[in-house]
Homo-oligomer: A and B are copies of this chain.
Amino acid sequence: MVTMRDVAERANVSIATVSFVINGTKRVAPETRTRIEAAIRELGYRRNVVARALASSRTRILALLHPYLEARPIATANQFLMSAAHGARERGYDLVLWPVNDDEQMSHLLAGGLVDGALLMEVQLRDPRVDRLIASGLPFALIGRTEDEDLPFVDMDFTTTIEQAVGHLRSFGHRRIALVTLRMRASTGNEPGWIMRVKSAYRGAMAAAGEPPTVIAVEGTSAGGRKAARRLSEDFPEVTGVVVVNEGASAGLVKESRALGRSVPDDLSIISAATTAELGEMIEPSLTVMTAPATELGRLGVNALIDQLEGVPDAPPNILIPCTLVPGQSVGPAPA
């Protein structure tokens, strides 16, 4: 069997340099790299990842579990995926994208021995994937939270985000402020943890302000947003400020409100939280948004998992990051 030493000798470099090239962990001069790759090809040195995995019972492969096949039209999902994959690569790990839609597909993950650990997205309050991971003993980290906050996670700080959104609207004189959030299709059952946390943070902020809460949950689509606009107009005409935490519905909400003769922001002020500035800019008028820390959380999530796998001492505990306010043109003074 051809070894890394054989490759090093053939290419006239150190074994460490060969390892850097193979693992992609450190920059190597292009000439040297080309020489090493030629040696690898000539000697037929392959499958070292596999051999190493068998020797160490570590594959250095991680799974990213993302449960929905039909991508919602959201701008943040890609940021999570790509930054997690990039963060894994920087630490010498590979990330398998795992579109687990049902409990069934978990078996291959847990029984196959392919991955050293799993990173979960779209975490539900009571998440059956988490139960199965705990039972199997496979290390994992969450981007999001279940009910049990003792599990390793990174997440958006919804309390701070919603308090800032409500505070921003109140600083413009708005008192009756509604929340438009996501309603999952009935078939998916259990709802993502963030929906509950957003509602709870919103209710807390309204209680602190001494105002009654108004929660409208719609699908994460333009059609859902239009529905929310009609409900606001018909059932809650006293509402002058809206916090949207439903990326896909933002545009429909604004369009239909205007179609119903309500000016944004003269009649209705709108903040869209947990989205991107680019998405806010697409809408007329450009939305005031609170941008999601998606790139940071993707990277921090994968780091939390790898720290756990490598037993890194003093690894940071659970991390919460709030969204960042980016003013647009959709918030103005409350109508008299």
- Evaluate whether A97 and B95 lie within 8 angstroms (CB atoms) in the complex, with A53-B47, A59-B50 already known: yes
Q: Say yes or no for A22: interface residue by CB 8 A criterion.
A: yes
Among B47, B96, B111, B135, point to the contact of A22 (Cβ < 8 A): B111
Nearest Cβ distance between residue A281 and chain B, in whole angstroms? Answer: 4
Taking a contact as CB atoms under 8 Å apart, the answer to whether A222 and B47 are in contact is no
Residues of B within 8 A of A82 (CB): 66, 68-71, 97, 99
Taking a contact as CB atoms under 8 Å apart, the answer to whether A112 and B48 are in contact is yes
Taking a contact as CB atoms under 8 Å apart, the answer to whether B221 and A113 are in contact is no
State which residues 61-101 of A face B: CB under 8 Å: 61, 64, 66, 68-71, 73-75, 77-79, 81-83, 85-86, 89, 94-99, 101
A27–B105 alpha-carbon span in the complex (Å): 9
Q: Which residue of B lies closest to A46 (CB)?
A: B113
Taking a contact as CB atoms under 8 Å apart, the answer to whether A281 and B252 are in contact is yes
Nearest Cβ distance between residue A156 and chain B, in whole angstroms? Answer: 18
Number of copies: 2
- Provide the A93-128 mask, 1 if CB < 8 A to any CB of B, else 0: 011111101011101111111100000000000000
Among B47, B49, B86, B111, point to the contact of A99 (Cβ < 8 A): B86
A21–B83 alpha-carbon span in the complex (Å): 31
Q: Which residue of B lies closest to A94 (CB)?
A: B96
Taking a contact as CB atoms under 8 Å apart, the answer to whether B283 and A251 are in contact is yes
Among B22, B137, B282, point to the contact of A108 (Cβ < 8 A): B22
Taking a contact as CB atoms under 8 Å apart, the answer to whether A107 and B37 are in contact is yes
Q: Which of A101, A282, A284: most chain B Cβ within 10 A?
A: A282
Residues of B within 8 A of A258 (CB): 284
Q: Say yes or no for A248: interface residue by CB 8 A criterion.
A: yes
Taking a contact as CB atoms under 8 Å apart, the answer to whether A50 and B54 are in contact is yes
Taking a contact as CB atoms under 8 Å apart, the answer to whether B81 and A222 are in contact is no
A110–B83 alpha-carbon span in the complex (Å): 22
Among B54, B78, B252, point to the contact of A78 (Cβ < 8 A): B78
Taking a contact as CB atoms under 8 Å apart, the answer to whether B50 and A221 are in contact is no
Taking a contact as CB atoms under 8 Å apart, the answer to whether A86 and B69 are in contact is yes
State which residues 134-155 of A face B: CB under 8 Å: 135-137
Taking a contact as CB atoms under 8 Å apart, the answer to whether A136 and B41 are in contact is yes
A102–B23 alpha-carbon span in the complex (Å): 15
Nearest Cβ distance between residue A50 and chain B, in whole angstroms? Answer: 5
State which residues 17-48 of A face B: CB under 8 Å: 21-24, 27-28, 30, 33, 36-37, 40-41, 45-48
Residues of B within 8 A of A109 (CB): 24
Can you give 7 contacting A-B residue pairs, CB < 8 Å? Answer: A22-B107, A28-B107, A46-B111, A47-B53, A66-B82, A221-B278, A222-B281
Which 4 A-B pairs have CB atoms at the shortest separation, nearest pair first? A24-B108, A71-B78, A251-B282, A73-B278
